Structure 1
Amino acid sequence: MPLFHVCTLFLLFFIALATAADLYKVLDLHRSASDKDIRYAYKKLSRKYHPDKNKDPEAADKFVEVAHAYEVLSDPTKRQIYDRHGEEGLKAHEGGQQHYANPFDIFSNFFGQSAHQTRRGPTSVTEFEVELADMYKGASIDFMVKKRILCDHCRGSGAASDGDIHTCSGCGGSGMKLVKQQIFPGMFAQTQTSCNECGGKGKVIVKKCPHCGGEKVVDHTAHYTLEVTAGMPEGHEVVLEGEGDENPDWEAGDVVLRVRSKRDRGGWRRKESSLYWRETIGIDEALLGFDRNLTHLDGHVVRLTRIGVTQPGFVQTIEGEGMPLHENHNLHGDLYVEYNVVLPSHISPHTRRKLTEAFQSSDFRHDEL
C-alpha cells in the first residue's frame, strides 16, 4: 500500500481512538469470548475491511478499529486491564503513553502465521452468467452462495462447552499410539499409529454441541454483491478471498467467479469489444432503403439508415457503438448489424402484375446491366 495511504490510515486511527468504541463490540463479541473467538472475529473482519479490498470510505476506519481491538483483546495482560479499567487503564499501565501497533503489521503477522500453521482449503470456481446489458453499462448484482461455516455455538470445536473437551486417555493427548506386533516367536516390532480413539487429535468430546451435532460446521447461505464494471471481459475472474467452506482444520479457500454474458438466442452477441445485431427488414425496405431506430443495450437509440438496395446478409459497420473498453470506458468498439430480408408469404395477382412490369421494364434491365 502507498505511503500516503498508510499515513492517512494512521491519522484516522488516532482520530478513532479519541472516541473509542467498546472493543468487544468492534469485533462483535461477548465479553466472555475465548481466544479462538477473538482470532476468528479478527480474521473475518480484517479481510472484510482491508483498504486494498474494500473501497468504501468508512472501511479504513473500521480496519483500524478492528486491528486495535484485536491487539488488546488477544493479549491476556492487556485484556485483563481493559476489562477492569478500560482504555484509560491501558494508558496508565504503559506509563501514560499508550502504544498502538501498525494495523498493517498486525494483519501481515496474523495471516503470515496462519499460512504456516494451517493448511488452506480448496478454491472453488463457478461460472457466473450475467446479462450482456450489465456488462455493457456496469451493474451491482446481489447473489447467494451456499457453503459450510464454523458452528456459531461451539466455534468449530464440536463440543457443547469447553469443559466437554477432554484429553484422550488412549494416547495421553499425543494423538499417537505405540502398537506391539509379533514378527517371529520371541521377536516383536513396535509401530506408531494414529490413535483410533481420538482420530489422532489428542482430544475427545464427551458431550457434542447441540447446534451442529458435533459436526463442527453448519450449512449457511452467504449474501454477496458482484460489482460488474462496464466492458468487463468475458471470463473475467472475480476472487472472493477466504469465502470458501470453513473448517477448523484449515483456512477457508477462495471462491472464484468466472463472469460471462448469458447466451440470448436471436439477441445481442459479443466478441471482445465488438457487438453484433441481426436486423430483419422487408423486401420493400431491402429494395428502396429505410430509416429506422435500434434500441441499444443501455436504452439509447442508434439510427439505422440505408439508401438503395440492401442484399440479404449484408453487414453494416457502425463505429463506436460496440462494447466499452475495459481499460477506458470512454472508448468503444464497433457495432456490426447484419440484415435479414423477409419475403412475403404470398402476393396478390395485382401485385404480381405490377412486379412483373417493373422487373421486365427496360429501366430495370438497364440498372441490372
Structure 2
Amino acid sequence: MPALSSLLFLSVLFLAALVSAADLYKALELSRQATEQDIRSAYKRLSKKYHPDKNKEAGAEDKFVDIAHAYEVLSDKTKRQIYDRHGEEGLKAHEGGQTHFQNPFDMFSSFFGGVAQQQQTRRGPTAVMDFEVSLADMYKGASVDFMLKKNILCDHCRGSGAASSDDVHTCSGCGGTGLKLSKQQIFPGMYAQTQSTCNECGGRGTVIAKPCPHCSGQKVVEHTAHLVLEVERGMPEGYEVVFEGESDESPDWEAGDIILRVKSLKEKGGWRRKESSLYWKEIIGVDEALLGFERNLTHLDGHIVELKRRGVTQPGFVQTIAGEGMPQHGRGTFGDLFIEYSVVLPTELGESTKRKLAEAFYGSANGHDEL
C-alpha cells in the first residue's frame, strides 16, 4: 500500500507539472514539441500583436506580460527543461525560492533592437504572392495551414556571422568607419579627396576572423515557417492578408511583410463565383426537360438546395435562387445562386421508343410510323 500511495502521489505531481507546463506553451500558442525557432517566431508575432502601444483592448497588457514571461522561460534551454518537468515551482526552487523575470518592455526592446534602432534600420522587402484556397473555404470560412520557406537570423551567431563575439574585429583598413579616404592630384599642389566604401570589410567596419560554423558566415539560414491563414466568410477575390514581419530576416534590416492575395481555386465543371453570386450548371434528361423534375443540390457547406421545375425547361435556361449565393463579406447577407440547365439527348433510340414518340408527337395515323 505505501508503494501504491507513493506511485499515486508521483503520478499526481507529474500530471500537475504537465498542466502547469501547458500554460506557458498556451501563452505562445504552441505545443510542447515546439522548436526554438517556433518559440522565437511566436514571441515575435504575439508580442507585436499585444504590445500596449499598438493594442488598446482590455487585457492586452496582461497578455503581453504573459507572452514575455513564457518566452523568457521557454527560450532558455535549462529553464525550459526544468519547467517541463516540474512547472513553475521547479523554477522557483532552481532560483533559490524566487523567480526573477525581466521587464517585458525591456525584453521587447532587446528582441527588436530598441525603438530608436528600429527607426534607423531600413525595412526589408515585402513579398506579395497569390494564394489559392477552395471556394468552399471562402464560402464557409476556414483556417488554412501552410508552410513558407524564408531566411531567418542564424540562431548560433544571432546574425553576426562569426563563431563567437571574440571573432569579430574592427577592420584595420578603415578603422571601423566602413569608409576609405584617398587623395588624387588634380594639378601640381592641388589634391582632391575622395571617399569610398572599404573594400576589406564591405563597409561594415568589422571583419570576421572565424565564420560561424552553423551558417558558414552567411548570418542567415533557411527556415520553413508554419503560418495560418484565416479565411473569412465571403472574402473577396484578391483580398490581401498581411503577415507583419514574416518576410526574410537580415541583420541589415527589419523583416518586411508577407502579403497573400487570396483567390479561389478554379475547378473545371464546378462552382463558379462572380462577386457575391454563385453559378452552377445542372444536367437534365429530355424527360425532365419536358415533364419537370425535383432534385437536390449539395451546396458548398453541405446544406441541400432543392431544385424544382414544373413544365418545360429549355436548354440554357437559367434559374435564380435568391439568397443562396456567396456570403457578402462583413455584411451578414448573401448573394444569389444561378442554375444553368443543360439538356442531354440520348445517343440512340430503340424502335419501340421511336414509335411511342411518333405517336405522342404526331398521332398514329399521320404516316410517321416509319420513324
TM-score w.r.t. the length of structure 1 is: 0.73
CA contact (8 A) 2:109 2:115 kept: no
Partner of 1:31: none
Please report how far the alpha carbon of residue 200 of structure 1 lies from its aligned counterpart in structure 2 after TM superposition.
1.1
CA contact (8 A) 1:67 1:106 kept: no
Segments of structure 1 that go 5 or more residues without pairing to the other structure are 1-18, 28-38, 72-83, 91-99, 363-369
**How many angstroms apart in 1 are the aligned matches of 2:58 and 2:279?**
39
Q: Structure 1 residues 267 and 145 mapped into 2: Cα distance closer, same or farther (>3 Å)?
A: same
Q: Structure 1 residues 204 and 307 mapped into 2: Cα distance closer, same or farther (>3 Å)?
A: same
Q: Deviations over 1:262-307 (max 9, x none)?
A: 0011100111111110000001100000011101111111110000
Instruction: Give yes or no for the alignment of 1:359 onto 2:361.
Output: yes
Equivalences for 1:246-261 in 2 at 5 Å? Answer: 246-261=249-264
Structure 1 consecutive aligned stretches of length 4 or more whose deviation exceeds 4 Å: 39-45, 48-54, 56-60, 66-71, 84-90, 100-103, 109-112
**How many angstroms apart in 2 are the aligned matches of 1:110 and 1:186?**
48
Task: Give the residue type in structure 1 aligned to 2:319.
Answer: Q
Q: Structure 1 residues 172 and 46 mapped into 2: Cα distance closer, same or farther (>3 Å)?
A: same
Please report how far the alpha carbon of residue 60 of structure 1 lies from its aligned counterpart in structure 2 after TM superposition.
5.5
Instruction: Give yes or no for the alignment of 1:273 onto 2:276.
Output: yes
Q: Structure 1 residues 266 and 101 mapped into 2: Cα distance closer, same or farther (>3 Å)?
A: closer
**How many angstroms apart in 2 are the aligned matches of 1:69 and 1:134?**
33
Q: Deviations over 1:281-340 (max 9, x none)?
A: 0011000000111011111111100000000000001111111121133x2111110000
Between the aligned residues of both structures, percent identity stands at 68
Partner of 1:226: 229
**How many angstroms apart in 2 are the aligned matches of 1:262 and 1:193?**
52
Partner of 1:285: 288
Please report how far the alpha carbon of residue 114 of structure 1 lies from its aligned counterpart in structure 2 after TM superposition.
4.1
Tell me which moved more, 217-226 or 346-355.
346-355
Instruction: Give yes or no for the alignment of 1:129 onto 2:148.
Output: no
Q: Structure 1 residues 106 and 210 mapped into 2: Cα distance closer, same or farther (>3 Å)?
A: closer
**How many angstroms apart in 1 are the aligned matches of 2:97 and 2:204?**
38
**How many angstroms apart in 1 are the aligned matches of 2:61 and 2:180?**
50
Aligned residue among 116, 119, 122 for 1:116: 119
Q: Structure 1 residues 59 and 345 mapped into 2: Cα distance closer, same or farther (>3 Å)?
A: farther
Partner of 1:154: 157
Partner of 2:198: 195
CA contact (8 A) 2:64 2:104 kept: no
Equivalences for 1:25-44 in 2 at 5 Å? Answer: none
Q: Deviations over 1:205-243 (max 9, x none)?
A: 111000001100000000011111111111111100000
Partner of 2:47: 46
Task: Give the residue type in structure 2 aligned to 1:256.
Answer: I
Aligned residue among 330, 333, 336 for 1:334: 336
Task: Give the residue type in structure 1 aligned to 2:47.
Answer: S
Q: Structure 1 residues 360 and 252 mapped into 2: Cα distance closer, same or farther (>3 Å)?
A: same
Partner of 1:139: 142
Find the residue that maps to 1:143 and give its secondary structure: strand
Tell me which moved more, 230-239 or 111-120.
111-120
Instruction: Give yes or no for the alignment of 1:171 onto 2:174.
Output: yes
**How many angstroms apart in 2 are the aligned matches of 1:52 and 1:221?**
30
CA contact (8 A) 1:270 1:276 kept: yes
**How many angstroms apart in 2 are the aligned matches of 1:120 and 1:44?**
17
CA contact (8 A) 1:278 1:339 kept: yes
Q: Deviations over 1:84-140 (max 9, x none)?
A: 9998999xxxxxxxxx8989x979x97753442100011111100001011111111
CA contact (8 A) 1:323 1:333 kept: yes
Please report how far the alpha carbon of residue 188 of structure 1 lies from its aligned counterpart in structure 2 after TM superposition.
2.8
CA contact (8 A) 2:65 2:104 kept: no
**How many angstroms apart in 1 are the aligned matches of 2:264 and 2:180?**
56
Tell me which moved more, 176-185 or 198-207.
176-185
TM-score w.r.t. the length of structure 2 is: 0.72
Equivalences for 1:314-329 in 2 at 5 Å? Answer: 314-329=317-332
Find the residue that maps to 2:47 and give its secondary structure: helix
Task: Give the residue type in structure 2 aligned to 1:149.
Answer: I
Q: Structure 1 residues 50 and 234 mapped into 2: Cα distance closer, same or farther (>3 Å)?
A: farther
Please report how far the alpha carbon of residue 185 of structure 1 lies from its aligned counterpart in structure 2 after TM superposition.
4.6
Tell me which moved more, 258-267 or 43-52.
43-52
**How many angstroms apart in 1 are the aligned matches of 2:47 and 2:134?**
33
Instruction: Give yes or no for the alignment of 1:311 onto 2:348.
Output: no
**How many angstroms apart in 2 are the aligned matches of 1:129 and 1:70?**
33
- Root-mean-square deviation over aligned CA pairs: 3.8
**How many angstroms apart in 2 are the aligned matches of 1:224 and 1:250?**
22
CA contact (8 A) 2:234 2:276 kept: yes
Partner of 1:75: none
Find the residue that maps to 2:289 and give its secondary structure: helix
Tell me which moved more, 182-191 or 211-220.
182-191
Partner of 1:236: 239
